[in-house]
């Protein structure tokens, strides 16, 4: 068993509290306590973080791959492990590996391989499609977008056990029976790639859809005669929404407006993809984002820490709030009880970064992995 350690000499962002001169005690993979740095017990090995910002490990609910590893194009446990390792280097300790619209057969193969893989930080799968609105399909192939129906869902999820955790669907095309089936499977339904009217989106939220996928992107627009999905999202009391803060998918001023309207209901995702030329999705790195061969925007090149940095530097957001958008709020939506906060009894998933937003250390279940 690893020797207990104490992290000290940094500014600690627990959830809503900012702590100075404190130390995080880690034992058996959990946060044992947070104490005055001058009172660290002798049995703890001290780890000096040299003035870094210390926060919960970052949580990404929508990411397809990293570097040149796109899971849908390389359905292997080795690919999952490489993605995990790369994300840990970026400070992301919990993520939901995402697959965009594809064939049901490929989805089922991806589910099977994910189930059999040894995973440390991949918490589940997010299926973005294929039950989308073709009018708002974005980079998703039109010939693979299909109507949602219970028999299709039963086939898709027949051997999924509980690894599929999130599914993005167009709510205006979804029937109650299908949504009820997904709820029975404990799959969080997120409204996305949708051409819903304000009334349709509001009705879907009132009926229990709790989230919206990448606010502003691939959805009906905000218009003064029909406020569409963005307006319904702003106007609702409980629905949450992810947003891609790279300055490309969404203008920074639109992020400011969204944050002002939604407060803690808005959270960060990367929507990051990987360079690929061997599958349905031909992602080409175009500077700081990815496009398809025809120029269609197909994904970001963000890390969550970069998104936090953009929130601070370009949206003029308090760093503590930006951190919560990548930790506390996604954990709350997914009902994760042991991550997303630095709190006694929680898993010791911790990220530390410097003033230039460079990762300095990452701990996963109390083990230093970066």
Residue of 271, 288, 338, 354 marked active site: 271
Phi then psi for 95, rounded to 5 degrees? Answer: -150, 160
Rounded distance, CA 107 to CA 187, Å? Answer: 15
Distance set, CA 311 to CA 8, 96, 186, 251, 302 (Å): 26, 22, 32, 12, 12
Report the Cα–Cα distance between both ends of the chain, in Å, rounded: 19
Distance set, CA 330 to CA 20, 58, 203, 356 (Å): 25, 9, 23, 24
124 φ/ψ sector (left φ>0, alpha ψ -120 to 50, else beta):
left
Identify whether 60 is a catalytic site residue.
no
Q: Are 268 and 242 in contact (CB under 8 A)?
A: yes
Rounded distance, CA 201 to CA 198, Å? Answer: 5
The candidate with the shortest Cα–Cα distance to 171, out of 154, 153, 195, is: 195
Neighbours of 54 (CB within 10 A): 25
The candidate with the shortest Cα–Cα distance to 146, out of 170, 115, 121, 179, is: 170
Classify burial at 333, counting beta carbons within 10 Å of its beta carbon; exposed 0-12, middle 13-18, buried 19 or more.
buried
Active site residues: 271
């Amino acid at each position: 068993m690893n020797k207990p350690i104490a992290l000290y000499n940094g500014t600690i962002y627990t959830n809503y509290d900012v702590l100075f001169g404190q130390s995080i005690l880690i034992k058996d993979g959990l946060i044992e306590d947070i104490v005055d740095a001058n009172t660290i017990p002798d049995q703890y090995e001290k780890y000096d973080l040299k003035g870094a910002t210390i926060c919960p490990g970052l949580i990404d609910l929508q990411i397809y791959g990293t570097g040149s590893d796109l899971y849908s194009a390389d359905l292997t446990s080795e690919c999952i492990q490489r993605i995990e390792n790369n994300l840990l280097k970026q400070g992301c300790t919990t993520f939901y590996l995402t697959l965009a619209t594809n064939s049901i057969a490929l989805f089922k193969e991806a589910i099977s391989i994910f189930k059999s893989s040894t995973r440390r930080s991949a918490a589940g799968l997010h299926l973005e499609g294929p039950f989308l609105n073709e009018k708002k399909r974005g980079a998703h192939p039109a010939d693979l977008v299909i109507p949602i129906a219970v028999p299709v869902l039963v086939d898709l999820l027949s051997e999924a056990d509980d690894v599929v955790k999130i599914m993005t669907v167009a709510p205006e095309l979804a029937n109650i029976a299908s949504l009820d089936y997904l709820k029975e499977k404990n799959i969080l339904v997120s409204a996305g790639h949708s051409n819903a009217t304000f009334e349709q989106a509001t009705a879907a939220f009132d009926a229990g859809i709790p989230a919206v996928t990448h606010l502003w992107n691939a959805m009906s627009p905000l218009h003064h005669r029909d406020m569409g999905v963005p307006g319904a999202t702003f106007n609702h009391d409980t629905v949450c929404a992810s947003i891609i803060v790279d300055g490309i998918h969404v203008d920074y001023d639109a992020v400011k407006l969204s944050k002002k309207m939604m407060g803690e209901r808005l959270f960060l995702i990367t929507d990051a993809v990987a360079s690929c030329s061997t599958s349905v999705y031909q992602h080409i790195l175009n500077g700081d984002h990815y496009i398809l061969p025809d120029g269609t925007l197909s994904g970001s090149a963000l890390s969550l820490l970069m998104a936090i940095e953009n929130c601070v530097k370009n949206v003029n957001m308090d760093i503590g709030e930006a951190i919560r958008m990548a930790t506390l709020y996604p954990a709350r939506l997914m009902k994760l009880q042991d991550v997303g906060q630095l709190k006694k009894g929680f898993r010791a998933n911790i990220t530390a970064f410097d003033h230039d937003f460079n990762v300095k250390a990452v701990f996963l279940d109390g083990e230093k992995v970066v």
